[in-house]
Amino acid sequence: MSTPIGQPTVPPDRDRGGPAQPLLSIDGLVKHFPVKKGLGGRPAVVRAVDGVDFTILKGETLGIVGESGCGKSTTARLIMGLMPHDSGELLFDGELIGGRALPWRDFRAQTQMVFQDSYASLNPRMTVEGSIAFGPRVHGVPKRQAIERARSLLARVGLEPSRFAARYPHELSGGQRQRVNIARALALQPRLVVLDEAVSALDKSVEAQVLNLLMDLKQEFALTYLFISHDLNVVRFLCDRVAVMYLGQVVEIGPADTVLASPAHPYTAALLSSMPSMDPDARTQVAPLAGDPPNPIDPPPGCRFHPRCTLAEEVCKGRVPPLAPVDPVHRVACLARQPGSGHSAAPTLSVAA
Partner 1 sequence: MSRGIAKEPAVAIRGLKVVFGGVVEAVDGVDLTLERGQAVALIGESGSGKSVTLRAIMRLNPERRTRIEGEIRVAGREVMTLSSRALRALRGREVAMIFQEPLLALDPVYTVGRQITEAIRQHEKIGSEAARRRALQLFERVRIPSPERRLDSYPHEMSGGMRQRAMIALALACRPQVLLADEPTTALDATVQIQILLLLRELQAELGLSTIFVTHDLGAAVEVADRIAVMYAGRIVEEGSARDVVLAPHHPYTIGLLRSRADGALAKGSRLETIPGSPPDLAARPPGCPFAPRCFLAEDRCRVDAPPDVVVATGHRAACWHTEAAHAAFQGDRARLLEAAV
Residues that bind partner 1 in the complex, under the rule CB under 8 A = 67-68, 173-176, 203-209, 211-212, 215, 230-234, 236-238, 256-257, 270-271, 274-281, 283-293, 295
* CB 34 to partner 1: min, Å: 20
**C-beta of 187 vs 235, nearer to partner 1:** 235
* CB 330 to partner 1: min, Å: 17
Cα first-last separation, the chain: 60
* CB 283 to partner 1: min, Å: 6
The β-bridge partners of 46 are 33
Q: What SS3 state is found at 344?
A: coil
Give CA separation, 89 vs 20, 30, 78, 97, in Å.
Answer: 19, 9, 11, 8
Angle at CA of residue 260, ends 248 and 59, nearest 5°: 80
* Count of C-beta atoms within a 10 Å radius of residue 192: 22
**C-beta of 30 vs 270, nearer to partner 1:** 270
**C-beta of 188 vs 232, nearer to partner 1:** 232
b/e 142-181 (16+ beta carbons within 10 angstroms → b) = eeebbbbbbbbbbbbbbbebeebbebebeebeebbbbbbb
**C-beta of 150 vs 172, nearer to partner 1:** 172
Give the length of the chain.
Answer: 353
**C-beta of 165 vs 172, nearer to partner 1:** 172
Cβ pair 254, 260 in contact under 8 A: no
* CB 315 to partner 1: min, Å: 24
* CB 70 to partner 1: min, Å: 9
Q: Of all helices (H) and strands (E), which one includes residue 96?
A: strand 95-96
* CB 303 to partner 1: min, Å: 17
Q: What share of the chain is helix, strand, coil (3-state, %, to 5)?
A: 30, 20, 45
Contacts of 238 (CB under 8 A, 6+ apart): 61, 63, 211, 214, 215, 225, 227
**C-beta of 95 vs 231, nearer to partner 1:** 231
* CB 97 to partner 1: min, Å: 30
**C-beta of 187 vs 334, nearer to partner 1:** 334
